[in-house]
A and B are shown apart, each in its own frame.
Chain A
Amino acid sequence: MSTTPMEQDIHARHDPMVPSSATIRAIRPEAYGISTFTLALDDAAAAKKYAFQPGQFNMLYLPGFGEVAISMSSDPAQPETIEHTIRYAGSVTRAMGRLKPGDILGVRGPFGTAWPAKQAEGKDLLIVTGGIGLAPLRPMILAVLRQRAAFGRVVLLYGARTPQDLLYTSQFPEWQKQGVEVHVTVDRADEHWRGQVGVVPMLFYRININHSKALVLTCGPEVMMRFVIYEALARRVPKESIFVSMERNMKCGVGLCGHCQLGPHFICKQGPVLNYTTLEPFFGREDF
């Protein structure tokens, strides 16, 4: 059997496990051990067809190392350049950290559910994120800013361990100018930090919420999200108005490998973004 360039293998398109190749256009350091990779699909037709919604993810493949599920972090209105903000955490992502612009990655996707963009119209958006959890919400923020008038208040509550771990801070002034209320906190300050110190859920105490109009979108460590949900519920935000982006081990991204299950949900198919009403019976349950 003769080999064919990755992007030309017609049969490959029928196999959900076979990736397309994408060239790394740029690598932008964001924080310590975290960079944003800008990718462009090599096959022109595939690139033209590619579109994603805020909250969805791709499976990124590095030959010899493996695949990782990474959310898109760029503007969905510009799908020709796809950004992924990657933390060098495991064997695959650490190897990705050694790549340079011009190198190639495999891409499968987009997979999974999106933030409820339609439902969000007219609502006050409360975006609550921790650490790299801001990455899957950046496309949502950028999409909202494109039609800012369609939404009520847009509030970003964001925190990281230290000031050095904060993402996208250079873009915050622009977001604020366009009508995003930004509240930032860090777990541990350094000598230059003049902002809030404390965990993310504590930022709820710095704002007022109109619970009937609020829509909470949260992504971050599970323990953070658990307390974000407590704070939201304590302010009478209905469960139906809380959306959570979950993370689980994933091998396939298409509901066939079984790894990402959380109760009845395949996080790759019914998630990563789930409404809290469907998640509640299983969320935060120890070792589940």
Chain B
Amino acid sequence: MAAAEIPRVTASVVLPKTALQKIFENLQKAGFQLVGPALRDEAVVIGELDTVDDLPRGFGDEQKPGSYRLRQRNDGNWFAYTPGAHSWKQFLLPPRLALYSVKKDGKTWHLQRPKSTALHYAFIGVRACDLNAIFVQDRIFISETYRDPHYTRQREQMFVLAVNCSTASSSCFCASMKTGPKATSGFDLALTELPDAFLLEVGSEVGSEALRSTGWQLATAFDLGRAAQVLQSTQRQMQRSMRTDDLPQLLYRNLEHPRWDQVAARCLSCANCTLVCPTCFCTTVEDTSDLLGAAAGRTRVWDSCYVSDFSHVHGGNQRPTTRSRYRQWLTHKLASWMDQFGVLGCVGCGRCITWCPVGIDLTEEVAAIRETGAR
């Protein structure tokens, strides 16, 4: 049987690990800027990739509440790390985005919008939790009434190479949130790492095209079985979980639970959790002007509900205490988000647990409220 040049969509193929370089080249030829896992400052971050040599091959990490350590592994696996502090949010919802500038010309103004900085990004190594986080933000920024133009443009022209997780960190709890560890939709290619090869599911025609001349072969039942085992083992490694069935009602019923005071005594209101969270979307706008007031600009920047003037109205802040801010964050994620967007605002990536300087674990906080709260 003569092999086709590219696999059909929905096919699963295997290819030697080194052939990933060819996929990179195919994507680059198609005009994509590759971004994915890279080593920086002793952590796995998301940065620009030129070749597969930029990947953190052979590195893993150890995560626990308030702690992240990079670890050299002895298996040489390419994708054995778990998500670090960065998420794909920084490309879709940039930390700083110029909105427009204004020049005064006598009595009239001239408003100038910056050239779009949206690029054709190929996201390499998107984990299932993070893919679901993108779906969550889609509901916010591509709504029927108003759209965020940058987000929408960026989203329309991006490529996703998802990576199914072969390890779970101690902070992970995607299995209980039903957002992982396997990417089930919304990818162009989804990769599972086997000891000797990559198994790739083809999710789109662009994904199929990226496999041209890579030496791919259709996956056998044996390969598929091995990939399924990888995912089962990842799921078994997960130590944390969160019960979600009655979450919104549980938290709404317990807005005055003493646990909020307890967690407020530990929380520093530092906003780390909102910055690393792949779904947190709050922004504010910075205004600038020249000394004469003849030119001015506006820049949208990430904001956080932990910042003291986030809720400022004349006469004071709506949420002046850490208790009120932590409660706002958690009830938004796990209760009101559902009312607003029809999904929970948490995908179980565990970043807020790892990157909390005092190691506050939201799964623990919810469990404590569930145990002792009003039912």
Contacts and interface: CB of A to CB of B under 8 A. Distances in A.
A15 B300 CA distance: 13
Interface residues of B, number: 56
B108 A21 contact: yes
Nearest to A92: B287
A248 B141 CA distance: 21
Contacts of B78: none
A263 B251 CA distance: 11
Interface string A254-288: 11111101011010010000000000010001111
B281 A258 contact: yes
A259 B112 contact: no
Interface residues of A, number: 49
Contact of A18 (B99, B289, B332): B99
Interface string B144-180: 0111110000000000000000000000000000000
Contact of B318 (A6, A64, A249, A266): A249
A72 interface: no
Interface of A is mostly: loop
Given A17-B300, A288-B324, A256 B112 contact: no
B29 interface: no
A171 interface: no
B38 interface: no
B244 interface: no
Interface of B is mostly: mixed
Most buried by B among A247, A254, A258: A258
A147 interface: no
A124 interface: no
Given A9-B113, A18-B113, A287-B321, A248 B146 contact: no
A287 B109 contact: no
A4 interface: yes
B111 interface: yes
A64 B287 contact: yes
B288 A5 contact: no
A102 interface: yes
B266 interface: no
Interface in B293-322: 293, 296, 298, 300, 303, 305, 310-314, 318-321
A29 interface: no
Contact of B336 (A63, A106, A263, A287): A263
A67 B320 contact: no
A5 B284 contact: no
Given A255-B146, A264-B339, A249 B287 contact: no
Given A259-B284, A287-B318, A6 B111 contact: yes
Q: Which 8 A-B pairs have the closest CB atoms?
A: A64-B289, A258-B282, A264-B339, A287-B324, A63-B296, A64-B296, A89-B314, A254-B146
7 contacts: A4-B112, A12-B111, A65-B289, A67-B285, A249-B310, A249-B312, A251-B303
